[in-house]
């Protein structure tokens, strides 16, 4: 039923910091609606890919998923209700802020706000990045992917796979339990992790069209090394070359390039690890961090490699 991750909903007491990082570091376009209160962040031709509102107190992050039309939205609502999730209709103000035709919302077992919408509008103007970049790889594959830690792994997996219709791409149990799920050619739209820790958003991945834009974002992050949550590396599953940048609310942007896609002939596999090289996860407990390092050493000893598949956006240049 779900076609893609469409947008992110942020409530934050750090509006100024969000606008600064999104624009000058990541390269998003900031459209302020009401100064100090609401803004949209653009990444492509759409009217928004993030809606950001100011609040006092603890920040929150929610996800908006895309469906094809009104009939699919109604079917999603019915499936969610049958599975025990209470859905509510979006208010006129919420629908206007997001620039969609209609939407519903509900919360998962960890309390994360999830929205399903259709008809995200195109903007009236061309995308104007906050710094010179070659754009982001989106289109029918949507915004990118979100990975999060859940305290209710089986229930969350069931929600995305059996209720919302996503498919398993691959999985691993080391250094922690993760399932990667897809709903379009993007290798995964959702990553569900069980680390033994509290439920939390881990990261949102944004994929640049050009590798140099990853490098320049990394250069900027190196000016403040504490902003790097995961060092530069390459993933074993989607083959992204990326690093992770802490955002003002504490979760992270994965800024990457050249992910591979999946098709109807994809075969699910158990992964030998999370990364081919790099990606030192500074947030892991010491014993898990050491386990991850040993996995990298073993993969290096095996000589494991993966081809680089250039995005179509680069092939056309």
* Residue extents of the structural domains in the chain: 4-124+135-302
271 contact partners, CB below 8 Å, separation of at least 6: 170, 171, 172, 236, 237
Residue 313: which pLDDT band, with cuts at 50, 70 and 90? low
Integer angstrom CA distances of residue 268 from 161, 180, 264: 14, 10, 11
C-alpha 130/C-alpha 163 separation (Å) is: 38
User: Could you tell me which residues come within 8 angstroms of residue 5 by beta carbon, excluding any fewer than 6 positions away?
Assistant: 63, 64, 65, 66, 142, 143, 144, 145, 146, 189, 190
In percent, the amount of the chain with pLDDT more than 90 equals 90
Count of C-beta atoms within a 10 Å radius of residue 225: 9
CA trace torsion 148, 149, 154, 156 (10° rounding): -40
Enumerate residues 6+ apart whose C-beta is below 8 A from 262. 169, 182, 185, 186, 187
For the chain, how many residues are written? 317
- DSSP output for 284-309: S-HHHHHHHHHHHHHHHHHT------
- pLDDT at residue 314, as a whole number: 61
Contacts of 134 (CB under 8 A, 6+ apart): 208, 209, 210, 212, 213, 313
CATH class of 4-124+135-302: alpha beta
Between CA 192 and CA 170 the distance in angstroms is: 11
Look at residue 316 and tell me whether its pLDDT is greater than 70: no
Q: What is the largest CA-CA distance in the chain?
A: 57
pTM of structure:
0.96
62-114: pLDDT as tens digits: 999 999 999 999 999 999 999 999 999 999 999 999 999 999 999 999 999 99
Each residue's pLDDT tens digit, 162-213 = 999 999 999 998 777 899 999 999 999 999 999 888 999 999 999 999 999 9
pLDDT, residue 98, reads: 98
pLDDT in tens, 29-69: 999 999 999 999 999 999 999 999 999 999 999 999 999 99
* 13 DSSP 8-state letter: S
């Amino acid at each position: 039923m779900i076609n893609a991750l469409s947008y992110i909903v942020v409530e934050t007491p750090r509006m100024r910091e969000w606008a600064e990082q999104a624009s000058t570091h990541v390269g998003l376009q900031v459209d302020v609606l009401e100064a100090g209160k609401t803004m949209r962040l653009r990444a492509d031709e759409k009217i928004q890919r993030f809606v950001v509102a100011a609040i006092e107190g603890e920040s929150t992050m929610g996800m908006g998923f895309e469906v094809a039309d009104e009939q699919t939205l109604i079917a999603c609502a019915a499936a969610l209700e049958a599975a025990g999730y209470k859905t509510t209709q979006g208010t006129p103000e919420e629908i206007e802020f997001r620039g969609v035709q209609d939407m519903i919302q509900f919360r998962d077992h960890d309390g994360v706000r999830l929205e399903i919408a259709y008809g995200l509008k195109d903007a009236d103007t061309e995308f104007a990045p906050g710094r010179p970049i070659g754009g982001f790889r989106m289109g029918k594959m949507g915004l990118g992917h979100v990975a999060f830690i859940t305290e209710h792994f089986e229930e969350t997996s069931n929600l995305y796979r059996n209720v919302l219709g996503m498919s398993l791409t691959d999985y691993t149990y080391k250094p922690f339990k993760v399932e990667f799920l897809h709903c379009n050619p993007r290798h995964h739209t959702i990553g569900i992790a069980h680390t033994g820790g509290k439920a939390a958003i881990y990261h949102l991945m944004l994929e640049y069209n050009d590798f140099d834009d990853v490098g320049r974002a990394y250069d900027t992050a190196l000016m403040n090394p504490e902003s790097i949550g995961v060092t530069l590396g390459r993933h074993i599953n989607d083959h992204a070359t990326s690093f992770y940048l802490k955002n003002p609310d504490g979760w992270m942007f994965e800024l990457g390039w050249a992910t591979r896609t999946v098709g109807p002939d994809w075969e699910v596999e158990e992964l030998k690890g999370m990364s081919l090289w790099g990606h030192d996860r500074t947030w892991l407990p010491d014993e898990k961090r050491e386990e991850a390092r040993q996995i990298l050493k073993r993969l290096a000893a095996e000589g494991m490699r993966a081809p680089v598949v250039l995005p179509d956006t680069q092939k056309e240049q």
